[in-house]
Amino acid sequence: MLLAFNKPFNVLCQFTDRSTPPRRTLAQFGLPKGVYAAGRLDYDSEGLLLLTDDGALAHRLTDPRHKEAKTYWVQVEGTPEQAQLQALRQGVVLNDGPTLPAGVEWLREAPRLWPRDPPVRFRKTVPDAWLALTLREGRNRQVRRMTAAVGLPTLRLVRVAVGRHALAGLAPGQWRQLG
C-alpha cells in the first residue's frame, strides 16, 4: 500500500511524540494501521509525505542511491538574483559538504496554496519570492540550508512531488491511496 498525505505545518512525521508538551503527529489523521512515513518532512514544513507498509518500497523511495526527485515550492525572503539561482543550480557548499545541483525555477506568481496556520509573517519593507526547487538527495533541512547559503532565507516550504507522485489537490490533513 502506498499513500499520499498532505502533511500540515507543525505536524511530526511519526505516530507518537514523547516531548512535553506533545506535538501533533500522524496519529490524528485517520491513516490506515501499519503504514509509516517513507522519508521525512520537517515539523515546520508542509506538503507531500508518502506512507507505506512495504519496507522495500520505502527503501526505493528514500535511499539516496536511487536519487528520487523531490520538488518543493519555497517562499524565500528577498528577490532572487541570477547569481543566487545559478548557485543553487550548480550546488552549494554546506557545512556537511557540497550539494548536488538542483533544479530551480523562479515562480513569478505565488502558487495557489492553502493558508498556513500560523501565517508567514508579512513585512511591507521586505520582498519575498517563490521558487520551485528540485533535489535528488535528502539531507537534513537541506532546502532551508541551501537557500540560506545563497542569501535567500526560507519562509515557507511545501513539498509538492516525490518522483512521479504529486500532491495534486490534497488539502492539508487529507490522504489518498496511490496506484
Residues in the chain: 179
Amino acid identity, residue 7?
A: K
**CATH numbers and ranges of domains, the chain:** 1-67+165-179 (3.30.70.580), 69-162 (3.30.70.1560)
pLDDT tens digits, the chain, 179 residues: what are they? Answer: 999 999 999 999 999 999 989 899 999 999 999 999 998 899 999 999 999 999 888 888 888 777 789 999 999 999 999 999 999 999 999 999 999 999 999 999 999 999 998 888 887 888 999 999 999 988 889 999 999 999 999 999 999 999 999 998 999 999 999 97
Give me the pLDDT at residue 109, please.
94
In angstroms, rounded to a whole number, what is the distance separating the alpha carbons of residues 70 and 48? 10
Percent of the chain predicted with pLDDT > 90? 79
- The tally of CA atoms less than 13 A away on the side-chain side of residue 54 is 8
pLDDT tens digit string along 78-105?
999 999 999 999 999 999 999 999 999 9
Give me the pLDDT at residue 162, please.
94
Q: Enter the pTM of the model.
A: 0.94
State how beta strands 128-135 and 103-107 pair.
Answer: antiparallel
DSSP string, 47-116: EEEEEES-HHHHHHHH-GGG---EEEEEEEES---HHHHHHHHH--EETTEEPPP-EEEEESS----PPP
Nine-digit cell string for 118: 500560523
Considering all CA atoms of the chain, what is the largest pairwise distance in Å, rounded to the nearest integer? 49
Q: Which residues are catalytic?
A: 42
